[in-house]
Amino acid sequence: MAYFPSYRVIITLAILLVSLSSSSAKKQELSSHFYKHSCPELFSTVKCAVRNAIKNETRMGASLLRLHFHDCFVNGCDASILLDDVTGSITGEKTAGPNNNSARGFDTIDTIKSAVEKVCPATVSCADILAIVARDSVVQLGGPTWEVKLGRRDSLNASLAAANNGSIPAPTSSLANLTARFNQLGLSNRDLVALSGAHTIGQARCTSFRNRIYNDTNRIYNDTNINSIFAAQRQANCPSASGLGDNNLAPLDRITPRRFYNHYFNNLVSKNGLLHSDQELFNGG
């Protein structure tokens, strides 16, 4: 059984690790005062833009946090996930399996970047904006705040191959797969549990949890560690047949889907984890 740290440690460690676990960032001198003189209005500008975005759509907070996570887990926190395809030059990561028709919030990041450009043109990297946005999204949804260190540089290239090769943990991952991937990034098993706490907000598509709620031995795995009542509730909006309701959504945390809280871990104890990879944390593999 996995060890679950206290709520505040979980959330603070979770996002802080995502923000700093970048190989590219480790080569740079990061500082919370990096833009103190060149862009003093940076934090207030981003905070206001994030607040407006989440006010318009609560789900956007989770989407922005996830965008930062997916960026960091592919060659570091370098904003490469934001790059569009350029014929003969760049093949972006937006169409990678974990991102295609799933990663969202790109237009919101564009809006926030434009707001920052108005107060300090050509100064702040998109990678740093993603890091600040992740923090502010958590705060806006009721989670704790933390110091964001800045000074990342944006990548001029993306890696579709890296985004597709398992760099981003899949919802069907076993505990062994999860720990191996996190260990590759220098993160411990406890870090894995902490980072997974970010699933207290957000939603998942039917395709991400269909195998789990129907417990079909002919599918990827035979998932028996699921509460039968919970499974039936999820089946109501996620048909068993592939192609039907594939994009229907369900909350990752059924208790507080729009607030940053620790019910996510309580759900795992009750075998109410939506994703196989989440439940693996409690089952111990």
The CA-CA-CA angle for residues 64, 158, 168, to 5°, reads: 55
Instruction: Write down the H helix ranges in the chain.
Output: 7-20, 23-26, 42-56, 60-72, 106-119, 126-140, 160-164, 175-184, 189-196, 206-214, 228-235, 263-269, 276-283
* CA distances for 137 relative to 112, 121, 140, angstroms: 13, 23, 5
Identify the active-site residue in 33, 37, 70, 276. Answer: 70
* CA distances for 25 relative to 124, 131, 226, 258, angstroms: 15, 12, 39, 31
Q: Would you call 263 a catalytic residue per the annotation?
A: no
Residue 78 labeled ligand binder:
yes
Residue 200 labeled ligand binder:
yes
Which residue reads 């620790």 in tokens? 262
Residue 5 labeled ligand binder:
no
Residue 124 labeled ligand binder:
no
| Rg of the chain over all Cα atoms, to the nearest angstrom | 19
Residue 199 labeled ligand binder:
yes
User: Residues for the chain: how many in total?
Assistant: 285
**213 by DSSP, 3-state: which?**
helix
**Strand (E) or helix (H) holding 186:** none
Residue 74 labeled ligand binder:
yes
Write the DSSP symbol of residue 93: S
Which candidate, 94, 81, 62, places its Cα nearest to that of 22? 81
For the chain, the straight-line distance linking the first and the last C-alpha, in angstroms and rounded, comes to: 9
Residue 71 labeled ligand binder:
yes
The amino acid present at 247, given as its one-letter code, is N
66 Cβ contact partners less than 8 Å away, ≥ 6 residues apart: 103, 105, 198, 202
Residue 58 labeled ligand binder:
no
Residue 243 labeled ligand binder:
no
Bind-site residues for heme b = 199
Bind-site residues = 71, 74, 76, 78, 80, 93, 169, 199-200, 253, 256
Bind-site residues for substrate = 169
Catalytic residues: 70
Bind-site residues for Ca(2+) = 71, 74, 76, 78, 80, 93, 200, 253, 256
